[in-house]
């Protein structure tokens, strides 16, 4: 079973192969069944027998950007309204969430928004909570927010360590529990070199984004997506990174404040938060890839 992106990529590959077989040229395109999405293919001849094909799904890209939750979609009207050289107008803060029985990512981001110094770098690798972060924590400074454009995991934790070591200023890094494990050994580097990073691990017990994508394409449950039961604070401590837990909404503000209060000379801190999974509506919008 393939996602729409996969189908489009396959269309593009098929087109590329056809082009190759017919001696076709670069810049060809294909539309999906609804006619809205386009795949463009650029061909770079490498040798007489081989060429490198770049397939780009322009429709889905544009589609995503139309969506109001997408940061670039929000940035676009702001840029239009602003004069060159002026910052975009401020976006109104969303209504605060009320704490329930469990910590939610929205609650974490509300607390983070008011506690995060504006001049600090924020790194994010928390796939299913990404929209909530963008809705609640403004990105108002060039270079102040680091994330991926591709969706591949593994870079967030080490990127935060590298940024902190380069700047010697505290970086805040929000990670999903799954994402945190891809390059967890960078905690050792952070501890050893006293990289000033505050890691906030949003532990929803597994790969929520993969589960949600599975629901969308009719695979539920997706095998192997539960990774609960990991003590991230103990794991961090074992690498030499001081760490703490918070499991109840009432404990969140003080825990977050402590984790953020560490100075730029104090090295890394990790806060492990058990959070509720994002809602069933995740990735159900037509634009979602
Ligand atoms: C290198 C790599 N492997 C696998 C994936 C597939 N993948 C996308 S989201 C995701 C789950 C990440 O889990 P977590 O960080 O806990 O975030 P959550 O979805 O729970 O918010 C995975 C495994 C990927 N994007 N990149
Ligand atoms: Mg998770």
Please report the pLDDT score of residue 21 as a whole number.
37
**50 and 109 co-located in one domain:** no
The DSSP secondary structure of 93-142, one letter per residue, reads PPPPPPP-SSB-HHHHHHHHHHHS-TTS-EEEE-GGGHHHHHHHS---ST
At residue 259, φ and ψ (nearest 5 deg) are -65, -35
Domain membership flag for residue 85: no
Domain membership flag for residue 280: yes
Q: Which residues of 226-237 are buried (b: 16+ CB within 10 A; e: fewer)?
A: eeeebebbebbb
Residue 237, pLDDT > 50, answer yes
Nearest ligand to residue 133 Cα: 1
- Burial label for 47, CB within 10 Å (0-12, 13-18, 19+), is exposed
**129 CA distance to ligand 1 middle (Å):** 11
**Which is the closest atom of ligand 1 to the Cα of 151?**
25
Counted residue by residue, the chain has a size of 289
Last residue of some domain: 15, 41, 68? 68
**103 CA distance to ligand 2 middle (Å):** 14
CATH number of the domain that 210 lies in?
A: 3.40.50.970
Q: What's this model's pTM, rounded to 2 decimal places?
A: 0.74
Residue 71, pLDDT > 50, answer no
**59 and 129 co-located in one domain:** no
**37 and 118 co-located in one domain:** no
**50 and 182 co-located in one domain:** no
Domain membership flag for residue 97: no
> Using an 8 Å Cβ cutoff, are 9 and 39 in contact?
yes
Domain membership flag for residue 175: yes
Number of domains in the chain: 2
Residue 74, pLDDT > 70, answer no
> Using an 8 Å Cβ cutoff, are 148 and 197 in contact?
no
What average pLDDT does range 134-148 have in this prediction?
Answer: 90
**208 CA distance to ligand 1 middle (Å):** 8
pLDDT tier at 284, thresholds 50, 70, 90:
confident
Domain span at residue 113?
105-288
What average pLDDT does range 8-31 have in this prediction?
Answer: 40
DSSP symbol at 74: H
Nearest ligand to residue 214 Cα: 1
Ligand 1 neighbours, Cβ below 6 Å, are 126-129, 151-154, 176-179, 204, 207-210
**255 and 207 co-located in one domain:** yes
**199 and 123 co-located in one domain:** yes
**270 and 206 co-located in one domain:** yes
DSSP symbol at 256: H
């Amino acid at each position: 079973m393939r996602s729409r992106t996969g189908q489009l990529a396959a269309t593009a590959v098929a087109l590329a192969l056809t082009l190759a077989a017919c001696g076709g040229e670069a810049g060809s395109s294909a539309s999906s069944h609804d006619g809205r999405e386009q795949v463009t293919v650029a061909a770079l001849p490498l040798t007489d027998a081989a060429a490198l094909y770049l397939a780009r799904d322009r429709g889905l890209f544009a589609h995503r950007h139309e969506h109001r939750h997408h940061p670039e979609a929000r940035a676009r009207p702001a840029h239009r309204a602003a004069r060159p050289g002026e910052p975009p107008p401020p976006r109104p803060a969303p209504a605060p969430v009320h704490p329930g029985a469990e910590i939610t990512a929205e609650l974490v981001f509300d607390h983070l928004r008011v506690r995060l110094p504006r001049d600090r770098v924020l790194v994010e690798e928390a796939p299913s909570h990404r929209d909530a972060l963008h809705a609640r924590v403004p990105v108002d400074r060039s270079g102040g927010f680091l994330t991926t454009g591709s969706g591949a995991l593994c870079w967030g934790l080490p990127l935060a360590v590298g940024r902190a070591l380069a700047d010697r200023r505290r970086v805040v890094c929000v990670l999903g529990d799954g994402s945190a494990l891809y390059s967890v050994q960078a905690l050792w580097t952070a501890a050893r070199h006293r990289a000033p990073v505050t890691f906030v691990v949003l532990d929803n017990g597994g790969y929520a984004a993969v589960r949600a994508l599975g629901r969308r394409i009719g695979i539920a449950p997706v095998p192997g997506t539960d990774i609960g039961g990991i003590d991230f604070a103990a794991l961090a401590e074992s690498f030499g990174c001081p760490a703490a837990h918070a499991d109840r909404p009432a404990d969140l503000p003080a825990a977050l404040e402590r984790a953020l209060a560490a100075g730029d000379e104090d090295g890394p801190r990790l806060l492990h938060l058990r959070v509720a999974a994002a809602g069933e509506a995740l990735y159900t919008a037509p634009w979602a890839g």
